[in-house]
Structure 1
């Protein structure tokens, strides 16, 4: 067993190394914050002949809401199934990716009796779909749920081979984004001039972050007869505040999210004859590896956290809420556009009014009194296993952690 003493090697929100014990501790905390199963698992959509829990396919299971959804599926509902993530193994120069370590710990906590496997593969590829569906067909026959929670900077079209790169830009006109930055541990308010995307950049972002790949997964499942009666698929999305709209909902990402929602309505229609449903899920704000790359989001989230305090709902709480709705334990909360809403706490009028007031007043001099910048800094570090209480960062650690036995 090789032990290494590692350092974060970060610049701002970008970390080069992940700490395996810190990542494991983050998953431990997520597991403990998720309600334990107190009743027998719900039967599958056809009633199930063995009384086993439903089958879930979770695409993007190693980070953010996908990880929270995976933990809730396992801990609260005893679900069977498959999680898919695309994570990097250890090299001579760097540790494995944080998602690699998180997946390994998730499998450990689920235990040897959990009928749930993990596949490390590019979910955009035809090969990943084939391997996943072969496993699901052989092991379970049919699937009850598919949760799609993929955030990636690029996507290779499995049909044409064209590589599409996403762009985080406004549409129509330039936008000066207010940002949260750190000089060492000292926070300050900066700004970034974002030029508008052209049509090609907008279309490429839609190809990466829209509903194209989600639809390919559903088409593949239905073509092979793997959709169980009562099947429900959801894709994670975000709306957010008017404050971040120019770079998010009204920008290239917003165009992709609109495509995702249009895809959901089309899938819902197509699945209806099979007894199935499809919805997008509008989650609330969170510090994730994807969100930290978007200008203005970190500052907005720090202000929101300062306003809400402990009322800021974690991904664990939101994932628990989502599975309650998907399993029928609670009714679906749909808006007029037929989206499942988990963000009411964030978009409450009084909350948003307070955040708007702080946003207008936020400067480097006033920042620490208006935003919970230390929480943001800590949460970003935790994404990579750093800033986790109880973790000894001075001690050498085993960085060669095997991927869970999967497929």
Structure 2
């Protein structure tokens, strides 16, 4: 047992620790944002890869509450120690498991590297023993590195532009005060591009489909989705036209390959989500400033991860028609890509400087959103109170002494 008072360890909007009670409160809020289920039919068997953060967490919570899904979530989170808190996703997963149990959903979690063969084998064994064939697979991984299980080579992603150097405005905090900074990133070489594709592209998604198929665990009418993003022309040079964009293109190519493989017995789609404040997105240069401005200008049109997960699940289970673009991708970003909204953001972007930052961007909102990812800045949480930090992983023996 490790009951102690903890304070945020952060520099600007980057955090190195998390708050268990705050993480719990964030999950509770997201749970309440999901609609209650209609009827009492058993839900689909689902596998959510990347279930502890971002869109994967939102998809997990909405699937559990609104659709009574059963199955398995996979995340890779650091455990608590006597000296350090657990990763925020560890605490989020612990609370998600409690809510699932309270709702009567049979859903379990694995903490491990989803890229590895060992985690794939454990997941397949659990699914085969406890749930049977999988109806839905949600793939939502944004990792900095991946070890290729076939070659043993370790690939590391690089956030770089392709073709030409990237120079742009960025949001920085100096002594806690938001300011406009200037960013310069050199162009990626071919090795960096390929490594990023290997980490963030479709290779591992394809391996999961192959593994499920080899064990006879794909249900008739199986559907799988992988989370992607397109975004504004403002961020395109560092995102869609950069190394990350090359990886997302590979993800989309993989969806087509999976569809060919399934031959009408199932479907694979990439899902173009809208902008969001997530652990992954905050690592991308210029995204912080863009999202802060987008939120200010969008106002009530803004849609969070929970809103978009609700729309996604309705399409996955057939409650709504699939909203596909010309390339066969599910689009959840219509609110962000509205032409008038994008024009307004572009005008503001071209004019913004440190003097106009406060009027043009929700920088304080952005910083609070990032803090809440780690359980900080959550309304109603008493940060002066001592909290238990050695929370066990769901299904593990309690660490209380």
1:2 shift after superposition: 2.5
Mapped partners of 1:278, 1:115: distance in 2: 25
1:324 maps onto 2:314 in alignment: yes
Which residue of the partner structure matches residue 263 of structure 1?
Answer: 254
Matched length: 396
Deviations 1:350-377 (A, max 9, x none): 0000000111111111001001111101
Deviations 1:79-124 (A, max 9, x none): 1000000000012332000000000011111125321001101000
Asked whether the equivalents of residues 16 and 94 of structure 1 are also in contact (C-alpha less than 8 Å), the reply is: no
1:60 maps onto 2:32 in alignment: no
Which segments of structure 1 move beyond 4 Å, counting only runs of 4 or more?
none
Mapped partners of 1:62, 1:406: distance in 2: 17
Which residue of the partner structure matches residue 20 of structure 2?
Answer: 20
Q: Aligned to 2:187, which of 182, 196, 212? A: 196
Which residue of the partner structure matches residue 45 of structure 1?
Answer: none
Mapped partners of 2:168, 2:333: distance in 1: 23
Which residue of the partner structure matches residue 93 of structure 2?
Answer: 103
Give 5+ residue unaligned stretches, structure 1. Answer: 42-51
Deviations 1:257-301 (A, max 9, x none): 00000000110121124x100000000000000000000101000
Which residue of the partner structure matches residue 296 of structure 2?
Answer: 306
Q: Aligned to 1:383, which of 368, 373, 378? A: 373
Q: Secondary structure at the match of 1:347?
A: coil
Give 5+ residue unaligned stretches, structure 2. Answer: none
Which residue of the partner structure matches residue 235 of structure 2?
Answer: 244
Give me the CA root mean square deviation. Answer: 1.1
Q: Aligned to 1:296, which of 286, 297, 315? A: 286
Deviations 1:337-357 (A, max 9, x none): 000000000000000000001
1:406 shift after superposition: 7.0
Which residue of the partner structure matches residue 177 of structure 2?
Answer: 186
Bigger mean CA deviation after superposition, 179-188 or 372-381: 179-188
Mapped partners of 2:389, 2:45: distance in 1: 32
Asked whether the equivalents of residues 117 and 406 of structure 1 are also in contact (C-alpha less than 8 Å), the reply is: no
Which residue of the partner structure matches residue 46 of structure 1?
Answer: none
Q: Secondary structure at the match of 2:67?
A: coil
Deviations 1:281-339 (A, max 9, x none): 00000000000000010100000000111211010010000000000000101100000
Q: 1:348 to 1:391 in 2, by over 3 A?
A: same
Q: Aligned to 1:284, which of 240, 259, 274? A: 274
Asked whether the equivalents of residues 62 and 310 of structure 2 are also in contact (C-alpha less than 8 Å), the reply is: yes
Q: 1:315 to 1:406 in 2, by over 3 A?
A: farther
Which residue of the partner structure matches residue 7 of structure 1?
Answer: 7
Q: Secondary structure at the match of 2:136?
A: strand
Which residue of the partner structure matches residue 361 of structure 2?
Answer: 371
1:43-58 correspondence to structure 2 within 5 Å: 52-58=42-48
Mapped partners of 1:97, 1:21: distance in 2: 13
Asked whether the equivalents of residues 209 and 256 of structure 1 are also in contact (C-alpha less than 8 Å), the reply is: yes
Mapped partners of 1:396, 1:306: distance in 2: 35
1:33 maps onto 2:33 in alignment: yes
Which residue of the partner structure matches residue 65 of structure 2?
Answer: 75
Asked whether the equivalents of residues 69 and 319 of structure 1 are also in contact (C-alpha less than 8 Å), the reply is: yes
1:183 shift after superposition: 2.1
Asked whether the equivalents of residues 240 and 249 of structure 1 are also in contact (C-alpha less than 8 Å), the reply is: yes
1:396 shift after superposition: 1.3
Mapped partners of 2:321, 2:40: distance in 1: 20
Q: Secondary structure at the match of 1:155?
A: strand
Asked whether the equivalents of residues 177 and 194 of structure 1 are also in contact (C-alpha less than 8 Å), the reply is: no
Bigger mean CA deviation after superposition, 387-396 or 125-134: 387-396
Asked whether the equivalents of residues 81 and 390 of structure 2 are also in contact (C-alpha less than 8 Å), the reply is: no
Which residue of the partner structure matches residue 197 of structure 2?
Answer: 206
